Amino acid sequence: MSTPVLPPLRDMLASLIAINSISSASPQLDQSNQPVIHQLATWFELLGFKVDLMPVHTTHSKKLNLIARYGEGHGGLVLAGHTDTVPCDEHLWQSNPFQLTERDNAYFGLGICDMKGFFPLILEAVKPLLSQKFQCPLIVVATADEETSMDGARALVEAQQKLGRFALIGEPTNMKPINMHKGIMMERVVIHGSSGHSSDPSLGNNALDAMYYVLGDLIQFRQQLAKQFNNPLFTVPSPTMNLGCIHGGDNPNRICGSCELAFDLRPLPGMSTENLRESIQKRLALIAEQHSIDIEFNPLFPSVEAFETPAQSPFVQYCQQLTQHEAESVAFATEAPFLNALGMDTVVLGPGDIAKAHQPDECLPLSRINPFIKILQRLIHHYCITSPNVQTT
């Protein structure tokens, strides 16, 4: 077999950094990820992967997921990541965020560690292994819009996409395996009362008065959840609820006609966002009835479930062994709960540092690159090449 001609690692990283793939809730900033996906498709096809592109229908522009497979059969290893980045404050960067720059023993560029830079590392890792026979497939998944709606990952779940048995997501974790994080719900309560002259309360129905009871009830619910659920493996061991903002009324001498509250709720693994929403809905319905007022309750954004792959999972154990680190929890959310929902044991493990992501001068230390490529090679070797004993269903 002739050796495939892939560009050198540095050139691949530079090409991806140069393609703007910002995803944003603001249409002015949002970019399609299609150019990144097409670039990845070209490289993976060069190595003999079979590439499928999956359209992801998002609000602003047309986006794609990529699924690249090498080898046949069931089960196998999935290496997954997102192709989009957050927006950046270009004027605060020391170098052009869209031009790969090397200084202070690190590569700088938007998305270098969070996380377009993951894909060239996969290509570099798998290239020398292709002369061996793959017993189980290696599947690379590159998604759209992780930084905003997670619509790419949602599309995989909606399609019940058959991927693999074990999945690694290369988000920045400082080379430590992560097997759990909290979920995120962002919710909105709107109380519709009616306005009137403040001198006579019977002329209206005060939404702010009702909000007082809603706030009290939510705080009580928060305390109840904290008593009921606790996981010492998290830095903040209880589920949290943050009452984030409130808007209502206009003048002291008018009965407040409507009032709106937005809050977030971060559930622990084992708590379902649907159950939480149902409980809150019931509590609000009670207040609405008691105060003869309309209360609307809906999500501001689709929620992300909490994520946990049991520490006893052979995949978690193997990642611990490879990295010489116990699996931990993190405070940020990832696409892992979506991959778990597709029946895969998922671990988040990547070379970057989350503290360097989402801010000026995002970087990846050069010293992390080769050790991380070795980790990927050992994973591919274990789960795809010498894997007859690995459970594949």
The residues annotated as belonging to the active site are 84, 146
State the minimum distance, in angstroms, from the CB of residue 162 to Zn ion.
24
Sign of the Cα torsion 314, 319, 322, 324 reads negative
Q: Is 115 or 255 the residue whose CB approaches Zn ion more closely? A: 115
Q: Is residue 86 helix, strand or coil?
A: coil
Q: Is 114 or 308 the residue whose CB approaches Zn ion more closely? A: 114
HEC states along 211-258? HHHHHHHHHHHHHHHHHHCCCCCCCCCCCEEEEEEEEECCCCCECCCE
Q: Is 114 or 345 the residue whose CB approaches Zn ion more closely? A: 114
- Tell me if 308 sits within 8 A of 345, measured CB to CB: no
Cα distance between residue 317 and residue 245, in whole Å: 42
Q: Which residue is nearest to Zn ion (CB)?
A: 114
- Number of residues interacting with Zn ion: please give it, by CB under 5 A: 3
Q: Is 76 or 152 the residue whose CB approaches Zn ion more closely? A: 152
State the minimum distance, in angstroms, from the CB of residue 360 to Zn ion.
16
| Interface region with Zn ion, contact rule CB under 5 A, candidates 12-20, 107-115, 284-292, 345-353 | 107-115
Q: Restricting to residues 167-226, which ones interact with Zn ion according to CB under 5 A? A: 171
Q: Is 129 or 354 the residue whose CB approaches Zn ion more closely? A: 354
- Tell me if 392 sits within 8 A of 314, measured CB to CB: no
Cα distance between residue 76 and residue 137, in whole Å: 5
| Interface region with Zn ion, contact rule CB under 5 A, candidates 7-15, 20-28, 59-67, 109-117 | 109-117
State the minimum distance, in angstroms, from the CB of residue 350 to Zn ion.
9
Task: Report the amino acid identity of residue 112.
Answer: I
| Interface region with Zn ion, contact rule CB under 5 A, candidates 9-17, 18-26, 111-119, 173-181 | 111-119
Count of all residues that appear for the chain in the document:
393
State the minimum distance, in angstroms, from the CB of residue 215 to Zn ion.
33
Among positions 30, 84, 114, 353, the unique one binding Zn ion when judged by CB under 5 A? 114
State the minimum distance, in angstroms, from the CB of residue 197 to Zn ion.
53
CA distance readout (Å), 159 to 33, 62, 155:
20, 17, 6
Q: Restricting to residues 48-77, which ones interact with Zn ion according to CB under 5 A? A: none
362 binds Zn ion (CB under 5 A): no
State the minimum distance, in angstroms, from the CB of residue 99 to Zn ion.
21
DSSP 352: S
- Tell me if 188 sits within 8 A of 260, measured CB to CB: yes
Q: Restricting to residues 263-282, which ones interact with Zn ion according to CB under 5 A? A: none
Q: Is residue 140 helix, strand or coil?
A: strand
Q: Is 30 or 114 the residue whose CB approaches Zn ion more closely? A: 114
Cα distance between residue 230 and residue 242, in whole Å: 17
Q: Restricting to residues 138-177, which ones interact with Zn ion according to CB under 5 A? A: 171
Maximum Cα interatomic distance, the chain, rounded to a whole number of Å = 88
By the criterion CB under 5 A, which residues form the site for Zn ion?
Answer: 114-115, 171
